[in-house]
Structure 1
Amino acid sequence: MSKPRIAFIGTGGTMASIGRGPLDIQDYGVAGIVMDAPAILARVPELAEVADVFAVPYGAVISTRIGFTDWRALSRECSRLEAEEPGLAGIVIGHGTSSMEETAYALSLSLKVSVPVVMVGSQRPASALSSDAGMNLLNAVRVAASPQARGLGVLVLLNDEIHAARDVTKTSTWRLQTFRTPDFGALGHADGDRIAFYRRPLRRAAPDTEFDIRGLDVLPRVDIAYAHADADGTAINAFVAAGARGIVSAGFAPGSGTPAEADALRAAMAAGVVVVQASRVGSGRVVRTEKMGRDGFIPADNLNPQKARILLAFALSVTQDPAEISRMFETY
């Protein structure tokens, strides 16, 4: 019986890094050794036991540099792979964990492929004692090969847990269990005996979305204003002056900034900027209160600020209508 055929795109990150020794688990970037996709696969020969995995050249990019240009390139590459690789069962993308949740959500909003796409990384470099890189990669391949993974949007796999791109977030700097879905928990687990799914996300996700970034030259500028005690409107005014077409307010829970920030946001709206109100706490919904309705702010639901920024930028690429953008925040 033939094994499922899985493409692996390696973009760099901790799982591609080689440190100065097995105990170098934090300052490994100083060594400057980053493996390409074929080298990463070569370190995990056990992959051949579960799938026919082939490497896709991309390039090593630290995840703090990854943004729209890479999202577009990865979207195009995934489309090419599905069109040109016969019998492709799934795609795995290796990625640094710093911005993985943002790339995962951007792709989950915009990919136009039917095969499962799974994002994977590691908290410890491949050279480290007890590195999680090899097992994470093997489990990501197993998930991408699972028929149950179809239709769930982009998935994130680390530490044996399968998460939906929309809901997952990085919660710890160094711990292996860093990726969590605060309000709902994991979709399932990559256990030793099988891939076990227990629930499906209901929010709309790739490939059935109204967003397609493959032909875009640039995304509309959207900035995040982080609320804190004594925050004034300086940052918000600067974002407007820089050409922001949207601003996400990362407000206090349950969803508001300081009075000075609110004044600046209302002025921004009067200048044509769309404002989305999120919360900085990372859990729970921001709901449309009477005051928010009067101000014209769009609630972010339970999206964290960095993901609300992505959805707002994607929304602004297709419409300027606040009512339509509000619908999108209720849909995705």
Structure 2
Amino acid sequence: MNRLLLLATGGTIAGSADDSATLNDYTAGVLGGDALLAAVPQLQNLATISVEQVANVDSADLLFEHWRALVERIRDAFAADPELAGVVITHGTNTLEETAWLLQLLIDDPRPVVLVGAMRPATALSADGPLNLYQAIQVAVSSAARCQGVLVVMDGQIHGAKAVTKIATQGVSAFASPDSGPLGWVDDAGVHLPSAEAGRPKPLAQIQLPNDWPWVTIVYGCVEPSGDWISALLGAGVQGLVFTGTGAGQLSERERSALRAWDRLLPLMLRSNRCGSGPVYGDADQAQFGLLPASGLNPQKARILLLLALIAGLDQQGLASLCEAA
């Protein structure tokens, strides 16, 4: 029997409401990981599962310390048990894609790490959590999932950590990979994934996460944005900026003027876009400020890359190389 580690962090999959017909007014992170397993007795046929409760929160309230705990526990578990088949993480959907991407950058092991959540609380009629959890564990113990990187399993689809994002506030099909589509799917016939390609190098996989993380924030592009906001952030000592530019990552003249007016060293900065799909390429006009393109990363994932680059002590050239390799 496969051995599997389940790390529970809360979220809607562990949520509870007063009435089974209630889908929106509920409390996330009520049930523990043991209760989630007990609700799906069929899991006993898939693996011997150890459960650890890392947190029990709405994922909007997830903290850097939770991220550090997840990374350290997964690294330790893989190092201590060569026979461990994989790790499954139950997680709230609001920031699930961010945790998946962080782990993709920091965990260097061929065994699967699978994140799973739910769009309906555990108490709801037709709750999606139990089947999502069952299918996530199907994937985690499958040989087809080895060397695929960190995966997200929702509504029968298997997504890669880099491309996946939450695209809807309601409905069980709330996750998609806009530019590439899902990697595969899982159903009662098994796990359907293409053969894994050779793994890319993970230059950040050995860094140790600190107690105090750098200050990196996201600036959202819109009509007539405030350049004063950028000036205030720079004056307050922000260590990194991610611009959610309009179109293909474009900054307005007001935003460029605020950067141009800053007479000291600018922090590391990345350009993403607010469109939800499509890459951001290099631009000579933006490059004069040291603005690097985040390629296909959405703003929240670009922020994670920038956070880790700062923790690793990378300069602008190192960040550029990291963006190309990510």
Asked whether the two chains share a fold, i.e. TM above 0.5, the reply is: yes
Tell me what 2:265 maps to. 271
1:9 partnered with 2:3: no
User: How many Å separate the matches in 2 of 1:65 and 1:232?
Assistant: 28
SS of equivalent residue, structure 2 residue 5:
strand
Contact 2:221 2:244 in 1 (8 A): yes
The whole-number CA distance in structure 2 between the counterparts of 1:33 and 1:329 is 34
Residue type of the alignment partner of 2:103: L
Give the counterpart of 2:297 among 303, 309, 312.
303
Give CA-to-partner distance per residue, 1:186-214, whole Å, 9 cap, x none.
00001220100137578847xx3324454
Task: Indicate whether 1:72 and 2:59 are aligned.
Answer: no
The verdict on how the C-alpha distance between 1:96 and 1:147 changes in structure 2, with shifts beyond 3 A counting, is: same
Give CA-to-partner distance per residue, 1:291-311, whole Å, 9 cap, x none. 223332100101001100110
* Alignment partner, residue 190 of structure 2: 194
* Partners of 1:72 and 1:213 within 8 A in 2: no
Percent identity, aligned pairs only, is: 37
Amino acid of the structure 1 residue aligned with 2:132 = N
Aligned with 1:104 (options 92, 100, 106): 100
Question: Quick check: 1:119–1:157 contact (8 Å CA) kept in 2?
Answer: yes
Please list the CA deviations of residues 62-96 of structure 1 after superposition, one character each: whole Å capped at 9, or x if unmatched. Answer: 20111321111001111222234462101000000
Distance in 2, matches of 1:311 and 1:202, equals 22
In the other structure, the counterpart of 2:247 is: 253
CA distance in 2, matches of 1:269, 1:151: 47
* 1:23 alignment partner AA: A
Aligned ranges 1:231-246 → 2 under 5 Å: 231-246=225-240
Q: Matches of residues 219-238 of structure 1 in structure 2 within 5 Å? A: 219-238=213-232
- Partner SS, residue 71 of structure 2: helix
Question: What CA distance in whole angstroms lies between the structure 2 residues aligned with 1:245 and 1:66?
Answer: 21
Corresponding position: 1:290 with 2:290 = no
Specify which of 151, 154, 161 is matched with residue 157 of structure 2.
Answer: 161
CA RMSD of aligned residues (A): 2.0
131, 151, 154: which is aligned to 1:135? Answer: 131
Letter matched to residue 156 of structure 2: D
CA displacement, residues 263-301 of structure 1 (integer Å, 9 cap, x when unaligned):
223445843311211111111111112222333210010
Q: Which amino acid aligns with 2:248?
A: P
The Cα of 1:33 is off from its aligned counterpart by 7.0
In structure 2, how many angstroms separate the alpha carbons of the residues matched to 1:13 and 1:27?
Answer: 13
**Matching residue of 1:39:** 35
* AA in 2 matched with 1:223: T
State how far apart, in whole Å, the 2-side matches of 1:182 and 1:35 are. Answer: 32
Structure 1 residue corresponding to 2:310, chosen from 313, 316, 319 = 316
Structure 1, unaligned stretches of length 5 or more?
none
Structure 2 spans left out of the alignment, 5+ residues: none
Partners of 2:117 and 2:129 within 8 A in 1: yes
TM-score under structure 1 normalisation?
0.92
Give the Å deviation of 1:57.
2.8
Cα offset, 1:257, TM superposition: 1.9
- Give 1:46's aligned amino acid: Q
How far apart in 2 are the matches of 1:19 and 1:46?
25
2:149 and 2:161 in contact (8 A); partners too: yes
Alignment partner of 1:20 out of 18, 21, 30: 18
Q: Is the 8 A contact 2:227 2:257 kept in 1?
A: yes
Residue of structure 2 aligned with 1:48, choices 30, 44, 48: 44
| Residue 314 to residue 37, structure 1, CA distance change in 2 (3 Å) | same
Question: Equivalents in 2 of 1:92, 1:124: separation in Å?
Answer: 19
SS at match of 2:24: coil
User: What is the deviation of 1:144?
Assistant: 0.7
User: Residue type of the partner of 1:248?
Assistant: V
Change (3 A) 1:14 1:33: closer
Residue of structure 2 in register with 1:152 after alignment: 148
Count of residues paired in the alignment: 326
